[in-house]
Amino acid sequence: MTRYLTTPIYYVNDVPHLGTVYTTLVCDTLARFYRFLGEEVYFLTGTDEHGQKIEKAAEKAGIPPQNFVDGMAGRFSSTFDSLGIKANDFIRTTQPRHKKAVEALWNRLKENNQIYLGSYAGWYSIRDEAFYQEKELIDGKAPTGAEVEWVTEPSYFFKLSDWQQPLLEFYKKHPDFIQPHSRRQEVLRFVEGGLTDLSVSRTSFKWGIPVPGDPSHVIYVWLDALTNYMSSLGYPEQTEQLSKFWPQAVHVVGKDILRFHAVYWPAFLMAAGLPLPKKIFAHGWWTNEGAKMSKSLGNTIDPLELNETFGTDVIRYYVLREVPFGQDGDFSRSSLIQRLNSDLANSFGNLAQRVLSFIHKNCEAKVQPLTNLLDADQEFLQEIPKRFGLMKEFMENLAVHRYTEEFMAIVALANQYIDHQKPWSLKNTDPDRMKVVLSVLTEAIRQIVLIGQPILPNACHKILNFLKIDLQERSASNLSIPFSKEVVLLPPEPVFPRYQL
């Protein structure tokens, strides 16, 4: 099985904040999960570097646009590195390979008679890089609250209006194309309301890819940006990667940019005679302690600061667990600390620490293979693969929060097992049974940390090292292969110390 996961490419007018690294953290979790299953994964992220918004930001910084975007793209990629993101590619829209792909798509649309020259007179929002119809404005602003300006300029248009019916038919035939369902309804209503031709070039600024054959125009930044999902795979060349991964494309995006992905992008592709992606999933937005996060309010959350204080596993766990993926959420430092202390330190970390250090102290760090199991042991151990079956389905549906919840539910079961079996009492009353209980627990911990790797990669890596599990034995296929000989554990250390306020 092959998987292709994409995040939006980020505008480089602003530094990365929690809102902009969110999708990348979630997609990285999904990518790690699919790799864990042994699937072939291509996970793409990157930066969106053209357009009027970026040109203005560079001007304001007093730096030539190319130098400006080089610096900012570096900030995104180094932030992702610090957060332990393992993407297969980081695409930048100023790269020649991308430019070539956008020109090829443009030419194809032109050849298919889908683009014509006209003139645009209407509203444009630089912040959203979007055209709005008069009827969409609310109190003279874009529905997003962004300022709009009146633009009159020569422009090439894409015949979007031709694609209303084909789009509606496609959505009907592929009911899971747009998720979650409520968002799909919004898109359907928008398309049913009628589509007007879309302006796809601008002449009032220069920072973009010139229109082939008419360099007085630059290509509209969204037509440019959306093409990244194909240019990374080598389009317009018919590469092996393109044919292998493109049909599996799942675009994970924020709810604010769903229209571009679920309407314009499929229409461009249909018009170019190219296959469509498999799924578009729109997630919600984070507020900060109840308030909208914005550069102007100065209340955006710096992921690097959070990372220094808490570490990446904690950030990742918090964003995955706190909000059902798809819904809006509120970031609060106190709830992050609470999740760290109760879920990660007390429940998960403590499970590993108390079992492994007990073995160290009382069994010379030795664990015997599973033998002489009682019903209670079997029942407990059987629960893990049973629940993992469910967890796979959750990930198939991008319900990363449910995977995380179920993971913590297994951890809770293991803690209950300890409380019932009381190995510390068995030490005096029945040392042989104590050894069996400790083997069961070590085996459970092995499976738990294997399953936990996509959501808590660093902590699980450390615990797997304490258990001396080889790097080659850390995939889902190893879940059902318990220790076959005695293991001498390495000295454990707490993976999640409690955070003291």
Applying CB under 6 A, which residues contact ligand MSP? 8-11, 19-20, 22-23, 48, 225-226, 228, 253-254, 256-257, 285-286, 293
Q: HSE of 19 in the Cβ direction (CA atoms, 13 Å)?
A: 23
Paired with 93 in beta bridges are none
> Nearest-CA neighbor of 356 among 346, 366, 371?
366
Least Å distance, CB 29 to ligand MSP, is 15
Least Å distance, CB 9 to ligand MSP, is 5
Rounded distance, CA 103 to CA 364, Å? 67
DSSP structure string for 387-452: HHHHHHHHHHTT-HHHHHHHHHHHHHHHHHHHHHH-HHHHHHH-HHHHHHHHHHHHHHHHHHHHHH
Which is closer to ligand MSP, CB of 190 or CB of 285?
285
> Nearest-CA neighbor of 491 among 370, 358, 369?
358
Centroid of chain to Cα 94 = 23
Which is closer to ligand MSP, CB of 260 or CB of 466?
260
Least Å distance, CB 280 to ligand MSP, is 11
Which is closer to ligand MSP, CB of 229 or CB of 407?
229
Least Å distance, CB 255 to ligand MSP, is 7
Which is closer to ligand MSP, CB of 293 or CB of 356?
293
* CA-CA-CA-CA torsion sign (389, 410, 87, 106): positive
Least Å distance, CB 286 to ligand MSP, is 4
Which is closer to ligand MSP, CB of 234 or CB of 492?
234
Least Å distance, CB 400 to ligand MSP, is 14
Give the CA distances from residue 177 to residues 55, 194, 271, 439, in Å, rounded to whole numbers and listed in that order: 34, 20, 18, 46
φ and ψ at residue 325, rounded to 5 degrees: -65, 125
Rounded distance, CA 495 to CA 458, Å? 9
Which is closer to ligand MSP, CB of 225 or CB of 410?
225
Least Å distance, CB 292 to ligand MSP, is 8
* CA-CA-CA-CA torsion sign (361, 363, 364, 366): negative
Least Å distance, CB 293 to ligand MSP, is 5
- Outline where 276-374 has alpha helix (H): 303-310, 312-322, 333-339, 350-362
Beta pairing, strands 286-288 & 291-292: antiparallel
The position carrying tokens 């999640």 is 496
Paired with 380 in beta bridges are none
Q: HSE of 495 in the Cβ direction (CA atoms, 13 Å)?
A: 27
Classify 214 as helix, strand or coil: strand
Query: Which tokens is 357 given?
Result: 């250090």
Which is closer to ligand MSP, CB of 224 or CB of 443?
224
Least Å distance, CB 252 to ligand MSP, is 8
Find out whether the peptide bond into 180 is cis, omega within 30 degrees of 0: yes
Which is closer to ligand MSP, CB of 16 or CB of 454?
16
Which is closer to ligand MSP, CB of 257 or CB of 344?
257
Which is closer to ligand MSP, CB of 138 or CB of 297?
297
Give the CA distances from residue 196 to residues 153, 191, 310, 312, 470, in Å, rounded to whole numbers and listed in that order: 17, 10, 48, 45, 58
Which is closer to ligand MSP, CB of 252 or CB of 448?
252
Least Å distance, CB 15 to ligand MSP, is 11
Q: Which residue's C-beta sits nearest to ligand MSP?
A: 254
Least Å distance, CB 454 to ligand MSP, is 20
Which is closer to ligand MSP, CB of 257 or CB of 463?
257
Rounded distance, CA 436 to CA 453, Å? 26
Which residues 6+ apart lie within 8 Å of 40 measured at CB? 1, 2, 3, 244
Least Å distance, CB 13 to ligand MSP, is 8
